[in-house]
């Protein structure tokens, strides 16, 4: 599939589209959109991961485990707002002038929210089954190759650190902490990450390359940014679906709602049943592999059917 939808009103030649937007008072690139996208990627990484990490160490010291958990939560939230959301808005203004067109501030209908929301319901178990099969295969490869086993050991160490970090963030002792967890883990990332990735970065890529590739490239970097070795492919798939939603709906609110819903459901299930699988990217591999593969196939068929339905829905719409 070369593109999301050949009949979609926004699906047109990027160069022609840019010229039309220049003359119509829309997006006005001040530099190459590809350069702008990579400035967002590199700048966002340096600001959020490097500068934010240094500030965190300066405030809490080298032993983060002993730091007040609510302080770490507030620091995480502040880092996303200051080093991801704010740069995305500033880059959009500096490089394109019209922030609303770049970030896609269109308000969608409830039908659009519902259509894309079904995708999260399908993707959540699909990706969990995928991780199960992935774990099974990695264990087999590691058992038969010393080289693969050494790589797996390194990834296991990184994965343990990621799981421990998320476990600390999710643990809540009272209602206030529960609300803070929802804010830090679901609300703020949905707003900040989507504004940067599906807003500024993906839109920049779309001005020069086909939307399907713009969404895929953005999704790959989205997965890498999370430093979750065993969850990277599921994160890329989720990011690609968010990108598909952003492009088809021409609204950042759709991927924001999907991102929030995905994280919120995980938090709620964790609060209710304390399911460690929600933060564990390497679940027990002693499962029925045939059943897992069958479920992946069935859920994938359902997902393809939903995507076709969404494309047909928008082929009849005029997105303004």
- pLDDT tens across 162-184, in order? 777 777 788 888 999 999 999 99
**pLDDT, position 318:** 57
**pLDDT, position 314:** 94
What are the distances in angstroms from CA 136 to CA 81, 206, 290?
38, 37, 12
Count the Cβ atoms, other than its own, within 10 Å of residue 301.
Answer: 11
Percent of the chain whose pLDDT exceeds 70: 86
Q: What is the pTM of this model?
A: 0.88
Lowest mean pLDDT among 68-72, 98-102, 278-282, 313-317: 278-282
Average pLDDT over residues 131-146: 90
**pLDDT, position 99:** 92
Task: Tell me: pLDDT of 207 over 90.
Answer: yes
Task: Tell me: pLDDT of 210 over 60.
Answer: yes
* H or E stretch covering 319: none
Which of 142, 127, 141, 137 shows the shortest CA–CA distance to 232?
127
**pLDDT, position 296:** 97
pLDDT tens track for 2-53: 467 544 544 445 444 444 443 333 678 889 999 999 999 999 889 988 888 8
Residues linked to residue 251 through DSSP beta bridges, in sequence order: 105
* Tokens of residue 121, six digits: 């319901």
**What totals of helices (H) and strands (E) does the chain contain, helices first?**
15, 0
**pLDDT, position 42:** 94
What are the distances in angstroms from CA 48 to CA 69, 92, 143, 189, 226?
19, 18, 37, 12, 11
Residue tagged 């080298």 (tokens): 62
| 133 conformational bin, left if phi > 0, alpha if psi -120 to 50, beta if neither | alpha
Dihedral sign computed on CA atoms, order 28, 33, 35, 38: positive
């Amino acid at each position: 599939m070369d593109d999301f939808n050949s009949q979609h009103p926004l699906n047109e030649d990027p160069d022609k589209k840019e010229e039309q937007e220049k003359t119509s008072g829309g997006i006005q690139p001040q530099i190459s959109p590809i350069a702008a996208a990579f400035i967002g990627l590199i700048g966002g990484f340096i600001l959020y991961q490097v500068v934010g990490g240094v500030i965190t160490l300066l405030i809490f010291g080298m032993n983060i485990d002993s730091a007040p958990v609510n302080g770490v939560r507030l620091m995480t939230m502040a880092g996303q707002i200051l080093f991801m959301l704010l740069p995305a808005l500033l880059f959009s203004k500096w490089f394109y002038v019209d922030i609303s067109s770049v970030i896609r501030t269109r308000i969608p209908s409830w039908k659009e929210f519902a259509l894309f929301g079904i995708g999260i319901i399908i993707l959540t178990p699909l990706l969990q089954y995928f991780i199960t099969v992935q774990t099974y295969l990695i264990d087999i490869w590691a058992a038969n190759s010393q080289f693969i086993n050494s790589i797996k050991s390194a990834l296991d160490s990184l994965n343990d650190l990621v799981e421990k970090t998320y476990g600390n963030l999710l643990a809540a002792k009272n209602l206030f902490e529960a609300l803070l967890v929802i804010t830090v883990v679901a609300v703020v990332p949905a707003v900040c990450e989507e504004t940067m990735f599906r807003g500024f970065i993906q839109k920049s890529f779309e001005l020069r390359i086909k939307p399907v590739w713009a969404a895929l490239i953005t999704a790959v970097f989205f997965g890498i940014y999370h430093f979750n070795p065993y969850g990277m492919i599921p994160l890329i798939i989720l990011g690609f679906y968010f990108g598909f939603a952003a492009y088809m709906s021409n609204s950042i609110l759709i991927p924001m709602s999907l991102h929030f819903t995905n994280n919120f459901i995980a938090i709620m299930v964790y609060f209710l049943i304390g399911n460690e699988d929600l933060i564990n990217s390497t679940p027990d591999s002693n499962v029925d592999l045939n059943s897992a593969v069958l479920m992946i196939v069935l859920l994938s068929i359902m997902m393809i059917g939903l995507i076709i339905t969404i494309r047909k829905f928008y082929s009849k719409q005029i997105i303004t």
